[in-house]
Structure 1
Amino acid sequence: MEESINDIIRKIRTDLRRYMNGIAAAGMRDKGVHYRMNFGVEILRLKRIAAKYTPNKDLAQRLWNEDVRELKILATMLYPPHEFSTDTAELWVREIPYQEIREQWCMNLLQKLDTAGVLVERWISDADESVRATGYWLYARLCLAASPLSENIPGGALLEASCGDLENESIVLRQAALNVLRFYGRVSGDRAAEVMHKIGSFQHSLRPAGREIFDALRFEFEG
């Protein structure tokens, strides 16, 4: 007899309690990461738990809806990519609570979508900073995976958006934007020169962070 979604979720919760790491969970809370429940289970262990179950759209959505760190991460592992619609992506992107979830979502699910490039292009121009950060991280994941989709994203839009966020107050957004420039510039010498030209004014920025960004990218492309 096929297990119900409720049965599977009960088994997952049992596993999470078995592998709970209170010290890791407490460390996350100390850094401002607050869920209704956080078991502190490591990612490798979550991958092993996910491997026990057949990916299922309804199961993944149920897991995502819970304010539980591990269930949200498992949702990104158990949602069948071919069933993950653009509409659902647009809903989830505005529900990301923390950077870890953003990274796991981009790696486990979003980079596998045929529409990933379209989502990057759409999200990097969004007014919501969290959405832009997700667009940047997804672009980085496509580059890491050597996906041809990364080449179809207009370079002008990438540079305009990411350079505009390099001095944002959000460290998450700044780092995500910097990653975009690194990956974009690594493709060729021409692209590297394009990046350095775009951020040329940072060399004499009155803000130390601006000069550090310039030096970091110059070292990246000249090394």
Structure 2
Amino acid sequence: MQRKIRIEPIFAKSLFKTTCDNVVTLIQSVLQQGTVVNVSSILLVGGFAECKMVQNALKTAFPTINIILQDDSGVIVLKGAVLFGYKSDIISSRISRYTYGVSCYVPFDKRFHEQKRKIAMKGESYCIKIFDPFMWINTSIQVGHTIIKKEYSTDNKTGCMCRVYITNKDNVMYTDTGECTLLGEFRFSIKNPCREEKELKVTFNFGDTEFSMTVLDLESKCEKKEFFEIQR
């Protein structure tokens, strides 16, 4: 005898509620951030867009916005990927989903910095693990966009270790409070090591699906480039 399981419609629909709510919340947050204005239509793409419960949830949440579903919504994403592979410049800009920054140290200021982070170097007091952003969340990034950061210094006589972090939080001060995620590390070694710190110029390039970080030793003109994946 073949066994069957029967599920009540109400229970089956409840399985999708959390997902639908998350989709609605994400769209609401984008609309409220002010990066887009006068939105009259929302185009649904991907196989999940064909789900009636997703469609109904969006129509209920955004009654004044036209919800559009294409007949081939399940393959639109694939078509876009193929088109991008043949003609990458079809996308002229992207919106940064996170704030990107590096970990650094700055002169210690008791008015703002935690005492436990205070260290002494060369007779001066510094605060460590400061989050220093170079790209902010919701920023429109044009293809080929380059940011030249202020000059840094080597943290020892042989070079430096640069750690790149991302966060979706506002006003993050430190990199080790759980508000940041380590994206990657960049180790730069200098030629002709000496006791004195050397000045470094760092260039960030957000030109494609990844961004590059180039460190230049201003004295020796030696440079190194590292690539990091842009998070979405």
Q: State whether TM-score is above 0.5.
A: no
Max Rg structure = 2
- The higher relative CO (CA closer than 8 Å, separation ≥ 6) is in 2
Taking structure 2 as the reference length, what is the TM-score of the superposition?
0.22
Higher helix share: 1
Higher strand share: 2
